[in-house]
């Protein structure tokens, strides 16, 4: 019978032997004076005999990665100690040469941009389907993947995100069928879907749907310390030397063993308990969706998300509560939940709050959330105002690749002087969070007019160093 938690067991064994620690880290297992941190430090070890080497694993780390691959149905899996970000960076850098085209959604997480900068790849953007009432970007479609692969046969690989932050999945099986028939790799940022592998009640995993490389942000939805994540490769890509070399290049030589052990323990825990716990969570989710829907002014979005083209499946643990029928906006509701009830949600926006439940939230927690919503809604009756929708302009021409723009020097100019300059920073309006301008893109007359309009609109902007949009950074 193989050891189910080889890393954790080796750490415990070492700590139990009470060695005089004449090695890194400098706290020597006892030097952190705050008790709760010091307890963690006893297992905060380094690559001493018996603890293997993350960069060339042959012992407990190798065994544990094999167990991880088995649990997720991967050809090969790798631990990541710098979040999903590092896996996304590694896939971009390993699988693209400077100038290669990559098909990706324009609203992808900023780590995609980092991957483009590191690799020098050239983005071709997939349109993102938006749920029009809430204004949130949810999915890319198989039809758009086909169309863009046909019109850009030199695309090197396709890198998409699924599930979205809001819990909606894309039709990965259909997209994988297309990428495979075009002989391209399909890579998926499944940062928010690590728990999908453990229950039929969740959307099918990207790997199980035919993706070639998948990144899970394990710390986001499983009992894993922050930064704990993993990269899975299908049998087709398993052991790809370019990926192993790149992972090593981008990974610290002092990986955190507590993070590694927490990944391993979470994997074991979910293998043993995940299915039954997710079943309970799914039932609670069904029950409380109905209850929340019965509260005047609030609704727990489900059908409207599933109705968006390209969306297949919904994470039962993401509760997206629309406030569009309420007197409150999402920011006000989130503040009332925080200040009046000690409840902190994951995300708040004009039209909604997003509450993230996990298998560790029991009926009391769901009930507490529901009761708070009920009291708040009764205290603030009536309909609020409808919020104007922000339209996006057409994509501007890209004059420099993300890498070229990142490497170039930039300067800050008054917005009115930015006509026909090349942007050195991103501008994105939330919602929908799809950038209208990215570094390397031309600020033409249409874009300049749009940015001036944004500056006056009071819309929530992310990206520019001057959020009032009086000035903008451009390439020098």
Ligand X SMILES: Cc1ncc(COP(=O)(O)O)c(C=O)c1O
Q: List contacts with ligand X (CB under 6 A).
A: 83-85, 109, 111, 161, 165, 189, 191-192, 217, 229
3-state DSSP assignment of residue 254: coil
User: Taking the mean position of all CA atoms in its chain, how far away is CA 245?
Assistant: 24
Give how far Cα 388 sits from Cα of 65, 173, 324, 326, Å. 49, 36, 12, 16
- Overall size of the chain counted in residues: 476
* Bridge partners for 186 per DSSP: 158
CB nearer to ligand X: give 108 or 422: 108
CB nearer to ligand X: give 136 or 229: 229
Least distance (Å) between residue 365 CB and ligand X: 22
Helices (H) and strands (E) in the chain, counts: 15, 20
CB nearer to ligand X: give 114 or 464: 114
CB nearer to ligand X: give 21 or 109: 109
CB nearer to ligand X: give 64 or 168: 168
Angle at which helix 257-293 crosses helix 363-379, to 10 degrees, equals 50
**Cα dihedral 189→192→197→198 (10° resolution):** 170
Least distance (Å) between residue 469 CB and ligand X: 25
The answer to whether 126 and 144 have CB atoms below 8 angstroms apart is yes
CB nearer to ligand X: give 396 or 433: 433
CB nearer to ligand X: give 189 or 264: 189
User: Taking the mean position of all CA atoms in its chain, how far away is CA 148?
Assistant: 24
- Give 28-82 as a DSSP string: TTT---SHHHHHHHTT---S-TTS--TTS--SHHHHHHHHHHHHHT-SEEEEESS
Least distance (Å) between residue 356 CB and ligand X: 11
Least distance (Å) between residue 156 CB and ligand X: 21
CB nearer to ligand X: give 166 or 366: 166
CB nearer to ligand X: give 84 or 300: 84
423-445 per-residue burial string, b: 16 or more CB within 10 A, e: under 16: bbbbbbbebbbbbbbbbbbbbbe
Least distance (Å) between residue 315 CB and ligand X: 12
The H-assigned helical ranges of 184-319 are: 218-221, 241-250, 257-293, 303-306
Angle at which helix 110-119 crosses helix 83-95, to 10 degrees, equals 30
The answer to whether 323 and 301 have CB atoms below 8 angstroms apart is no
CB nearer to ligand X: give 102 or 376: 102
CB nearer to ligand X: give 221 or 332: 221
**Cα dihedral 87→354→126→159 (10° resolution):** 20
Q: Which secondary structure element, helix H or strand E, spans residue 326, and what is its range?
A: none
Residue number, nearest CB to ligand X: 83
The answer to whether 446 and 394 have CB atoms below 8 angstroms apart is yes
Least distance (Å) between residue 78 CB and ligand X: 14
Least distance (Å) between residue 139 CB and ligand X: 13
Alpha-carbon gap, residue 335 to 348, rounded angstroms: 9
Least distance (Å) between residue 258 CB and ligand X: 16
Least distance (Å) between residue 442 CB and ligand X: 28
Instruction: State both tokens at 82.
Output: 């710098």
- Give 167-189 as a DSSP string: SEEE-HHHHHHHHHHTT-EEEEE
Least distance (Å) between residue 222 CB and ligand X: 12
CB nearer to ligand X: give 217 or 310: 217
Alpha-carbon gap, residue 473 to 476, rounded angstroms: 9
Least distance (Å) between residue 213 CB and ligand X: 14
Least distance (Å) between residue 368 CB and ligand X: 25
Instruction: State both tokens at 203.
Output: 């959307």
């Amino acid at each position: 019978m193989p050891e189910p938690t080889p890393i954790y067991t080796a750490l415990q064994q070492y700590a139990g032997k009470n060695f005089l620690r004449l090695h890194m880290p400098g706290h020597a297992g006892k030097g952190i004076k705050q008790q709760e941190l010091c307890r963690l430090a006893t297992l905060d070890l380094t690559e001493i005999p018996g603890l293997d080497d993350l960069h060339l694993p042959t012992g407990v780390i190798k065994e544990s990665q094999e167990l991880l691959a088995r649990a997720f149905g991967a050809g090969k899996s790798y631990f990541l100690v710098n979040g999903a970000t590092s896996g996304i960076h590694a896939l971009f850098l390993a699988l693209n040469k400077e100038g290669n085209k990559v098909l990706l959604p324009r609203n992808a997480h900023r780590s995609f941009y980092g991957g483009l900068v590191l690799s020098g790849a050239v983005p071709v953007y997939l349109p993102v389907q938006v749920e029009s009432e809430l204004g949130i970007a949810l999915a890319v479609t198989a039809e758009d993947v086909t169309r863009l692969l046909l019109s850009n046969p030199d695309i090197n690989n396709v890198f998409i995100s699924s599930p979205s932050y809001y819990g909606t999945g894309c039709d990965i099986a259909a997209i994988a069928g297309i990428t495979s028939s075009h002989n391209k790799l399909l890579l998926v940022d499944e940062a928010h879907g690590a728990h999908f592998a453990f229950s039929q009640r969740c959307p099918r995993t990207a790997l199980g749907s035919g993706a070639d490389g998948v990144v899970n942000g394990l710390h986001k939805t499983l009992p894993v310390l922050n930064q704990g994540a993993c990269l899975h490769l299908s049998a087709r890509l398993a052991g790809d030397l370019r990926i192993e070399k790149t992972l090593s290049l981008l990974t610290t030589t002092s990986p955190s063993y507590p993070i590694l052990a927490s990944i391993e323990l979470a994997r074991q825990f979910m293998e043993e308990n995940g299915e039954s716990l997710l079943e309970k969570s799914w039932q609670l989710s069904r029950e409380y969706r109905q209850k929340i829907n019965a509260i005047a002014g609030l609704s727990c979005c489900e059908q409207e998300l599933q109705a968006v083209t390209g969306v297949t499946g919904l994470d039962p643990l993401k509760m997206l509560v629309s406030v569009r029928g309420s007197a409150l906006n999402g920011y006000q509701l989130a503040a009332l939940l925080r200040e009046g009830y000690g409840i902190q949600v994951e995300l708040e926006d004009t039209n909604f709050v997003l509450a993230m439940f996990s298998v560790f939230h029991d009926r009391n927690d769901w009930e507490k959330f529901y009761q708070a919503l009920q009291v708040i809604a009764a205290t603030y009756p009536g309909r609020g105002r409808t919020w104007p929708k922000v339209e996006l302009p057409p994509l501007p021409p890209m004059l420099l690749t993300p890498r070229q723009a990142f490497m170039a020097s930039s300067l800050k100019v008054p917005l009115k002087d930015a006509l026909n300059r090349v942007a050195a920073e991103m501008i994105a309006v939330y919602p929908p969070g799809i950038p209208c301008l990215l570094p390397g893109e031309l600020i033409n007359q249409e874009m300049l007019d749009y940015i001036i309009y944004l500056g006056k609109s009071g819309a929530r902007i992310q990206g520019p160093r001057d959020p009032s949009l009086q000035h903008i950074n451009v390439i020098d």
